Amino acid sequence: MELLVEKKELLEKLGKVQYVHEKKSTLDITSCVLLKAQGKEIEIVATDLETNFRDFCPAKITDDGAIAVNSRKLIEIVRGARTEDITLKVLPEENVLVVESARSVFRLPIRSPEDFPYTPFFDDEKLAKLDARLMKAMIDKVVFSVPIRKARSNVPGLMIRENIHPADEEDGNSIRSLEIFSVDLHRMVRIEKEFNYDGSLDLSEGIVLPKRSAQELSKVLEGVEVFEMGALENFLVARESSCTLTMRLLNFEIPRIDIKVLTETPYNFQIDREVFLEILKRIAVMTSDDYRHIMVHLSNSRMNFSVNNPGVGTADEDYEVNYSGPNMSFAFNIRYLIEALSNMQSEIINVGIIKEKAPFIFTGEKDEGYISVLMPLVLIGNEGQESSGEEEF
């Protein structure tokens, strides 16, 4: 294999490989990138066995060929090159890839392409075209809340479901939407937006996408306007121009969420998001790794925040709110509370409550289709040991 390629083009393509190779692997071959030189382009393939990435880079190819080489070292070499063009040449007798740029010459050991794992890309399958900017915004809105550990009532992935609503009376066309959400014992975050597209995504039953795969998809969609997506076999497939990403799905039962129950709450009040966050950040100074909760007391027109952390100290602050319901008290993990509000754009947030020791439900006008639900903690014993709420979504 021998070719000449532009540094800028190659670095841009190889840069996307890092999304897949961020996770450390005990399997050495998955730290390699597969390079296939043929015709007028290089096919670039990477995998961590859960997520498969492929893209194409134009090049002046003198001799076709295919190799696997350590992706991290190749990226570092290309990034440091001082010339606009880089030469890649394989020396079969030495089993190395020679990378030349000006007076710099690097030799990297290579692996046989036959050692590289199977990577399906479903090239012959038709996918639905979607708004990439909207999809990225939805993923970013929810992915922060996806739990890492598998536990009771935790689904350690991003759930995506296609919903088809009754036909519109004016044009007779059904309304399609995508619902993206995450659920665990502590919180539920959900967003739903209408999408216009031809064909089917085959997501009516819903899928569970690993957190890292969702983050990788978001990175690939950055700066993109339109992309193609669909569920095939046990993969979610996403195509953008010459780039294809296939992500292995998790096998979990996907819950149905009754949004009506969460949005029609008997007690509601509004808060200024920025002011509320400032209070929480001040109070958070008195929390610690083993004491992460704050007490929230609601009474007529008043909201009180307090921390009583043995060995650290206490904190107390009041906030005036338009609340006129019964007195209620809650304990919340302060980090989750801050994350819930930091991830919203609305200046004024509506807080809905069903009853005492039930979740806080956050919505806002500028966060259309978005709902964030935070379960209170149950404090056990005199030391205030934290436990997740007994109620589940």
Write down the domain spans for the chain. 2-115, 128-248, 259-387
CATH class of the domain at 128-248: alpha beta
CA distance 193 to 180: 9
In the prediction, which pLDDT does 16 show?
Answer: 87
pTM: 0.88
In the prediction, which pLDDT does 391 show?
Answer: 44
What is the CATH superfamily name and number for domain 2-115? Answer: DNA Polymerase III, subunit A, domain 2 (3.10.150.10)
Task: Evaluate whether 2-115 and 259-387 have a shared fold.
Answer: yes
Burial label for 88, CB within 10 Å (0-12, 13-18, 19+), is buried
In the prediction, which pLDDT does 268 show?
Answer: 96
Buried b (16+ CB within 10 A) or exposed e, 351-387: bbbbeebbbbbbbbeebebbbbbbbbbeeeeeebebe
Buried b (16+ CB within 10 A) or exposed e, 184-203: bbbbbbbbbbebebeeebeb
In the prediction, which pLDDT does 393 show?
Answer: 45
What is the CATH superfamily name and number for domain 259-387? Answer: DNA Polymerase III, subunit A, domain 2 (3.10.150.10)
In the prediction, which pLDDT does 196 show?
Answer: 84
Q: Which residues in the chain land under pLDDT 70?
A: 22-25, 149-154, 167-173, 380-393
In the prediction, which pLDDT does 168 show?
Answer: 62
